[in-house]
């Protein structure tokens, strides 16, 4: 494996930026951070750039647009996922959890696609530049899928399990012709077939809580982190916490987010929310949640460029300093998902490092990405050389 020396720029080490630091990468890991130069087969001049730990994106479903860019228009899943990998890497994401919804409805989020996606991630994993994992979003009314999900949890196919309940939203949308037509089109069913399916699924509502409990227990037994989605109240969050579900994705109001944080849970909000200046649904402002200490993690959600842009915008708007903002997209999601080998630039950690040109505060630009110790993206090849140099004084970070 290639030895890499990154030298000359700023480096985020712990909670501080260190000037003129040198990062030595060997055998896929960060071997040391210092000010001394050593022989290496590949050197990268990072002067004028910031070295940051790679983004850990624990919830992103933008890959669906590569699979189905228009309703009813499908592309091969391998083509879609390889293109998504390139997009993720180009936006600084070195660890990616594809958030795949397995719903009771057929089509893009149905059973067949869930199987195809799980199979494709496993098959293509060696070819991905980003460390790509399967985040299964189980629609809680999808009761028929419970046995298979239980098997997947036990065999390690699922890296994260989230419990979604969009059934009430579905039934509320049935009276809205535009929303209903969109749901029907996505399912591939006729209107009468879709109506009958919704009615059949709703009749099993009393079976849902027990299914959640069973799957949560299996996930805990197999060390799979658990998430709840769109929590509506402190009481609902407390109920999920009681099942060992300690990550709250997109709590819809401040009191629920505060209850989650007070209870020791992680909270996840959408990075696009920060970039756009608010939620597209009219719900909680992610930037406001960060400012109040109620946001633990920012995720790409539906837009891959968002985590990078959001972190720098939070810093530019003086909501939090950049080191703290960067933790929201790297260190904190790594911790929440149990990936303690990444999320910081430190000896012994996985060598996931991005080099960023931040001359324009609101438009940071990825110059280079090292993922798993390999240079996988570079926009300025003139920064790369193969040479040797003499050793200099070692400086340990504060």
Model pLDDT for residues 48-85, shown as the tens digit of each residue: 999 999 999 999 999 989 988 887 788 999 999 999 99
**Confidence band (pLDDT; 50, 70, 90) for 395?**
very low
Structure tokens at 198: 């919704």
Shared domain for 231 and 298, answered yes or no, is yes
Measure the CA–CA gap between 268 and 299, rounded to whole angstroms.
7
Q: Which residues contact 18 (CB under 8 A, 6 or more apart)?
A: 10, 11, 12, 33, 395, 397, 398
The DSSP element (H or E) to which 365 belongs, if any, is: strand 365-371
Tell whether the model's pLDDT for residue 9 goes beyond 60: yes
Tokens representing 242? 């009681």
Looking at 318, 336, 354, which one is the last position of a domain? 336
Would strands 50-53 and 353-357 be described as parallel, antiparallel, or unpaired? Answer: antiparallel
Residue 394 counted as domain residue: no
Whether residue 43 is found in the same domain as residue 71: no
Residue 390 has pLDDT above 70, yes or no: no
Q: Is residue 395 part of a domain?
A: no
pLDDT of residue 1: 59
Residues 159, 28 share a domain: no
Q: Is the pLDDT of residue 37 over 80?
A: no
Tokens of 332: 């904190």
User: Region 168-173: what's the mean pLDDT?
Assistant: 76
pLDDT grade for 33, boundaries at 50, 70 and 90: confident
What b/e sequence results for 41-51 when a residue is b if at least 16 CB atoms lie within 10 Å of its CB, and e otherwise?
ebbbbbeebbb
Pair 163, 206 in one domain: yes
If one counts the domains in the chain, the total is 2
109 and 178, same domain (yes or no): yes
Contacting residues for 381 by C-beta, under 8 A, at least 6 apart: none
Residue 391: per-residue pLDDT: 42
pLDDT in tens, 215-270: 999 999 999 999 999 999 999 999 999 999 999 999 999 999 999 999 999 999 99
Regarding whether 71 and 183 lie in a shared domain, the answer is yes
398: in domain: no
Give the span between the Cα atoms of 188 and 277, in whole angstroms.
35
In whole angstroms, give the CA distance from residue 257 to residue 269: 10
Instruction: Give me the pLDDT at residue 396, please.
Output: 44
Residue 398's pLDDT is 41
Pairing relation of β-strands 93-102 and 131-139?
parallel
* Measured distance CA(201)–CA(140) in Å, rounded: 11
Q: Are residue 308 and residue 282 in the same domain, yes or no?
A: yes
Report the mean per-residue pLDDT for the chain: 92
Q: Summarize the confidence of residues 339-350 as an average pLDDT.
A: 97
Write the Ramachandran bin of 358: left for phi over 0, alpha for psi from -120 to 50, otherwise beta. Answer: alpha
In-domain check, residue 261: yes
Pair 364, 289 in one domain: no
Contact 247, 226 (CB under 8 A): yes
Q: Which residue has the higher pLDDT, 361 or 395?
A: 361
Residue 394 has pLDDT above 60, yes or no: no
Domain check: are 182 and 290 in the same one?
Answer: yes
Please, are residues 256 and 248 in contact by the beta-carbon 8 Å criterion? yes
Domain CATH for 360: 2.30.40.10
Domain-embedded: residue 99: yes
Answer with the one of 311, 336, 361 that is the final residue of a domain.
336
* Structural domain includes residue 373: yes
Q: How confident is the model at residue 393 (pLDDT cuts 50, 70, 90)?
A: very low
**Residue 136 sits in which domain range?**
55-336
Read off the pTM: 0.91
The answer to whether residue 388 scores a pLDDT higher than 70 is: no
pLDDT value at residue 280: 67
Together in a domain, 326 and 377? no
96: nearest Cα among 160, 178, 21, 179? 160
Q: What is the mean pLDDT of residues 8-22?
A: 94
SS (H, E, C) 12-78: EECCEEECCCEEEEECCEEEEEECCCCCEEEEEECCCCEEEECEEEEEECCHHHHHCCECCECCCHH
Q: What integer pLDDT is reported at residue 262 of this predicted model?
A: 98
Residue 396 in any domain: the answer is no
Assess whether 187 and 231 both reside in one domain: yes
pLDDT of residue 194: 85
pLDDT tens track for 174-190: 778 888 888 887 778 88
pLDDT at position 183, please? Answer: 81
- Mean pLDDT, range 90-116, rounded to an integer: 92
Rg (CA), the chain: 22
Question: Of 336, 360, 377, which one is at a domain's C-terminal end?
Answer: 336
Identify whether 280 is part of a domain. Answer: yes
Dump pLDDT digits (tens) for 93-102: 999 999 999 9
Look up the CATH number of the domain holding residue 240: 3.20.20.140
Dist CA 392 CA 378 (whole Å) = 27
Q: Verify that 38 and 99 share a domain, yes or no.
A: no
CA distances from 200 to 105, 167, 182, 183, 194 (A): 11, 12, 20, 16, 10
């Amino acid at each position: 494996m290639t030895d890499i020396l990154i030298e000359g720029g700023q480096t985020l080490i712990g909670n501080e930026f260190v000037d003129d630091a040198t990062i030595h990468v060997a055998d896929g890991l960060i071997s040391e951070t210092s000010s001394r130069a050593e022989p290496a087969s590949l050197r990268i001049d990072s002067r004028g750039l910031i070295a940051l730990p790679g983004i850990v994106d624990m919830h992103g479903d933008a890959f669906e647009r590569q699979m189905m860019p228009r309703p009813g228009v499908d592309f091969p899943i391998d083509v879609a996922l390889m293109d998504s990998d390139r997009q993720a890497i180009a936006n600084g994401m070195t660890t990616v959890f594809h958030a795949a919804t397995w719903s009771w409805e057929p089509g893009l989020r149905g059973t067949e696609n869930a199987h195809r996606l799980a199979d494709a991630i496993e098959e293509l994993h060696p070819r991905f530049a980003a460390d790509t994992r399967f985040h299964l979003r189980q629609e809680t009314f999808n009761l028929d899928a419970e046995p298979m999900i239980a098997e997947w949890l036990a065999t390690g196919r699922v890296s994260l399990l989230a419990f979604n309940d969009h059934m009430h939203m579905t039934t509320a949308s049935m009276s809205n012709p535009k929303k209903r037509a969109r749901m029907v089109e996505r399912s591939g069913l006729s209107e009468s077939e879709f109506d009958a399916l919704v009615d059949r699924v709703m009749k099993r509502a009393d079976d849902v809580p027990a299914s959640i409990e069973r799957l949560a227990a299996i996930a805990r037994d197999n060390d799979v982190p658990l998430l709840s989605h769109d929590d509506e109240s402190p009481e609902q969050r407390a109920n999920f916490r009681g099942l060992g579900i300690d990550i709250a994705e997109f709590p819809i109001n401040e009191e629920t987010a505060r209850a989650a944080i007070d209870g020791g849970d992680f909270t996840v909000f959408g990075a696009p929310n920060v970039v756009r200046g608010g939620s597209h649904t009219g719900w909680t402002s992610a930037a406001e949640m960060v400012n109040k200490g109620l946001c633990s993690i920012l995720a790409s959600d539906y837009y891959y460029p968002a985590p990078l842009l959001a972190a720098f915008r939070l810093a530019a708007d003086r909501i939090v300093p950049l080191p703290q903002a960067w933790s929201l997209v790297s260190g904190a999601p790594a911790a929440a998902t149990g990936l303690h080998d990444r999320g910081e630039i430190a000896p012994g950690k996985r060598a996931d490092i991005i080099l960023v040109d931040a001359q324009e505060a609101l438009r940071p630009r990825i110059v280079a990405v090292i993922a798993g110790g390999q240079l996988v993206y570079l926009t300025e090849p003139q920064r790369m050389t193969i040479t040797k140099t003499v050793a200099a004084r070692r400086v340990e970070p504060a």
